[in-house]
Chain A
Amino acid sequence: MYSKKVMEHFRHPRNMGEMKDPDGIGQAGNPICGDVMTIYIKVKDGRIVDIKFQTFGCAAAIATSSMITELAKGMSLEEAMKITRADVADELGGLPPIKMHCSNLAAEALHKAIEDYRRKHSL
C-alpha cells in the first residue's frame, strides 16, 4: 500500500518532538477522525530555522508530517506557505488516494504555524 519513502519516514521520522518556546504553533486534524498534527516552528530573519512535529495518526499521517518538516526547514515563510499537499505526496513517491487527506493536514498545520507566528508578530 505504501511507497518505500513513506515507510522510511514512518519508521524513521525527521524532526519529531515538542519544541520549547516555539515562535509559531499550528494544529490540524481531529482526534475523532483519527488524525491530529501539531507543527512547531522557530523563525529567524523570516526563515524557518527549526521545525518539529507531533502526530496522532496512521503511517501516512506520520510520514507526511515528517516530510513537510524536512521540506520546510530552512525555507522563508513565503516559500513555506506555498507548499501544497501535492508537493508532500510527490516527495513521498505518492500516496494511496484514501490517504491524500493526510498530506492536506500536514500542509494545513504548517500554514497555521506560520499564520500563528505572523499574528504574534503583527505581520
Chain B
Amino acid sequence: MSFYEGEWMKVYLDNASSTMIAPEVVREMLPFLNEMYGSPASLHNLGVLARDALEKARERVSELIGASVGEIHFTSGEAESNNIAIKGFCRANRKKGRHIITTNIEHPSILQSIEALKKEGFEATSVPVNERGIIEPSRIEDALRRDTILVSLMYANHEIGTLHPIEEIGRMLKERGIAFHVDATYAAGRIPVNVDSMEVDLLSLSSHTIHGPKGKGALYIREGTSVEPLMNDGFKGIVLITMDVAGAVGFGRACKIAKERMGDMKRVQKMRDELIKGITEMKETYLNGDGKMRLPDNANFRFIGIEGEALVLSLDAEGIYASTGSACSSKELKASHVLLGLGLSPVEVHGSLRLSLSRYNTMEEVEYVLEKIPPIVGRLREMSPVWREVGRGKGLNEIMKEMSG
C-alpha cells in the first residue's frame, strides 16, 4: 500500500523488520478483542468459542508448512521458538550427545541460545558460509561428530535473503539420525515450506513477518521429538498455554492468506529485480549474497564509501523506509555479523542497505525509490573522505590501512 501525499510517497521497504497487518487479519482478530473474551480453558460456551478459534488458527498454521495440527505450538515469536527448539531439545537429549552445529550468519537468537548451552556443557561448531552467504552441505557433513545431536539453520537469511540448501541438508541428517531445526521465519509465505520434504524435526515461525500481529509465532515439533519446556505454567505442555486467542487467530489468518497468495511473489520478485538492476547500475554498488538462491522479496546492497545510518535517514526524509547493517545503526555499535560472515570488510558492511518488499508494494513505488537513491548516494559520497580516496584510485584495503592511524 502506498500513501501518496502531495509531492512524495511513503514507501515501506522494511518488511524484514516487520510487516503491515493485513486488513483481513485485523478484522478476524477484532471479535476476540471485543465480545469473544473467554479463556480457551473454560468449560462454558465463551470458552468453547475461544478454544475452537484457537484450534482453527492452529490448523491454518499447520497447513502452511504441511504439518499435523498437534505438532504446532504457539509461542511469542521467532526468538522464543528458537530458544525452545534449541535449548529444550538439547537439554532433553543430552544423554545422546552434546554437540550442536550452526553457521556464522544465523539469527542472533539461535547463536545466543547455543552460546547459553555451552555453559551447560554443550559444545558447538559454527560452520562458515561461502562468500555468497550459503552453507555448503559438505561443510556441515565435515563438522559432524559422533556426539552431534542438533543442526540449527535458518531457511532464508533475515538480512541478505539468501537460501540454504535445506532439503539436501535435511536428507543428510535424516540418514545419520541427527535432529534438524530450521528457522523458517523469513521463508514462510514467500517460498514453499514443507516439514516433510525438508526433513525437519523442529521449525520456527513468526507472525509479524507475514502480515500477522506482533507477539505471536509458532514452533513445530515433529511427533516423537523430545523437548524440555523452558517455562512452566502448571500444565503438561512443552510451551506455555496461549491465552492470546486474538493473536493466534490473527496469525492463523495470516498463514492462510500467505498460502493462498503465494503467487503474489512472482510480482514481488519482478519488483525486487528492478531494484537490483537499477541500484547495481550505480558506480561501486553491489548486491550482497547469492544472486539466484534468494528470497523473492529481499535485496541487500553495499554502497562503497558511505555509511548506512546516514543513508537510511536520508531515505527516511524522502518517505522511504529501509534498514542497514552498519555498526553506527546498531545499539551495540557492532557491524552486521551476517555481512561480515560473507567476508566483506567493515567499511563495506557500514555502507549496507537492506530493502525488503511485500505484496503491498507497487512498481510505481520501486520507480520512485530508483529515482531518489542516486542523488542521496551522490550527496553522501561527495561528503566522504573514503570516497575521495576511492576516487584517487585507492583500493579499500589501502584506504583502511592509511586511515586507521
Instruction: Check if A13 sits within 8 Å of B383, measured CB to CB.
Output: yes
Instruction: Check if B346 sits within 8 Å of A54, measured CB to CB.
Output: no
Of the candidates B328, B382, B388, the one whose C-beta lies within 8 Å of that of A34 is B328
> Does B69 sit within 8 A of A, measured CB to CB?
no
Give the contact stretch, choosing among B186-194, B202-210, B306-314: B306-314
Q: Which residue of chain A is the closest to B349 with respect to CB atoms?
A: A34
Total number of B residues with any Cβ neighbor in A under 8 Å: 31
Give the contact stretch, choosing among B58-66, B125-133, B292-300, B396-404: B396-404
Instruction: Check if B310 sits within 8 Å of A54, measured CB to CB.
Output: no
Of the candidates B310, B326, B328, B329, the one whose C-beta lies within 8 Å of that of A10 is B310
Q: Assuming A31-B346, A58-B329, is B310 touching A36 (CB within 8 A)? A: no
Q: Assuming A57-B328, A58-B309, A62-B310, is B335 touching A34 (CB within 8 A)? A: yes
Give chain A residues whose Cβ lies under 8 Å from the Cβ of B385: 27, 36-38, 54-56
Binary contact readout A25-67 vs B (1 if CB under 8 angstroms, 0 otherwise): 0010111111111100000000000000011111111100000
> Does A98 sit within 8 A of B, measured CB to CB?
yes
> Does A16 sit within 8 A of B, measured CB to CB?
yes
Of the candidates A17, A35, A98, the one whose C-beta lies within 8 Å of that of B382 is A17
> Does A5 sit within 8 A of B, measured CB to CB?
no
In the assembled complex, the Cα of A54 lies from the Cα of B387 at a distance in Å of 10
Q: Assuming A31-B346, A31-B403, A34-B307, is B328 touching A56 (CB within 8 A)? A: no
Interface residues of A in 61-113 (CB under 8 A from B): 61-62, 98
Give chain A residues whose Cβ lies under 8 Å from the Cβ of B347: 31-32
Chain B binding surface, main DSSP class: helix
In the assembled complex, the Cα of A34 lies from the Cα of B346 at a distance in Å of 8
Instruction: Check if A11 sits within 8 Å of B317, measured CB to CB.
Output: yes
> Does B255 sit within 8 A of A, measured CB to CB?
no
Instruction: Check if B387 sits within 8 Å of A56, measured CB to CB.
Output: yes
Of the candidates B313, B331, B384, B400, the one whose C-beta lies within 8 Å of that of A59 is B313
Q: Assuming A31-B346, A56-B387, is B403 touching A36 (CB within 8 A)? A: yes
Chain A binding surface, main DSSP class: mixed
Instruction: Check if A56 sits within 8 Å of B307, measured CB to CB.
Output: yes
Interface residues of B in 328-351 (CB under 8 A from A): 328-329, 331, 333, 335, 345-347, 350
Instruction: Check if A30 sits within 8 Å of B405, measured CB to CB.
Output: yes
> Does B57 sit within 8 A of A, measured CB to CB?
no
Give chain A residues whose Cβ lies under 8 Å from the Cβ of B403: 27, 29-31, 36
Q: Assuming A17-B382, A32-B346, is B313 touching A10 (CB within 8 A)? A: yes
Of the candidates B305, B328, B335, B345, the one whose C-beta lies within 8 Å of that of A61 is B328
> Does B13 sit within 8 A of A, measured CB to CB?
no
Q: Assuming A56-B306, A59-B309, A59-B313, is B326 touching A31 (CB within 8 A)? A: no
> Does B144 sit within 8 A of A, measured CB to CB?
no
Binary contact readout B362-405 vs A (1 if CB under 8 angstroms, 0 otherwise): 00000000000000000000111111100000000001100111
State how many angstroms separate the Cβ of B361 from the closest Cβ of chain A.
Answer: 26
Instruction: Check if A98 sits within 8 Å of B307, measured CB to CB.
Output: no
Q: Which residue of chain A is the closest to B331 with respect to CB atoms?
A: A98
Point out which of A17, A27, A59 has the most chain B C-beta atoms below 10 A from its C-beta.
A59
State how many angstroms separate the Cβ of A22 from the closest Cβ of chain B.
Answer: 13
Instruction: Check if A16 sits within 8 Å of B404, measured CB to CB.
Output: no
Give chain B residues whose Cβ lies under 8 Å from the Cβ of A17: 382-383
Give chain B residues whose Cβ lies under 8 Å from the Cβ of A58: 307-310, 326, 328-329
A-B contact pairs, 15 of them (CB 8 A): A10-B310, A13-B383, A17-B382, A31-B403, A32-B346, A32-B404, A34-B307, A34-B326, A34-B327, A34-B328, A34-B335, A36-B385, A54-B385, A57-B307, A58-B328
CB-based closest 8 A-B pairs: A58-B328, A58-B309, A56-B386, A34-B350, A56-B384, A38-B385, A54-B385, A32-B346
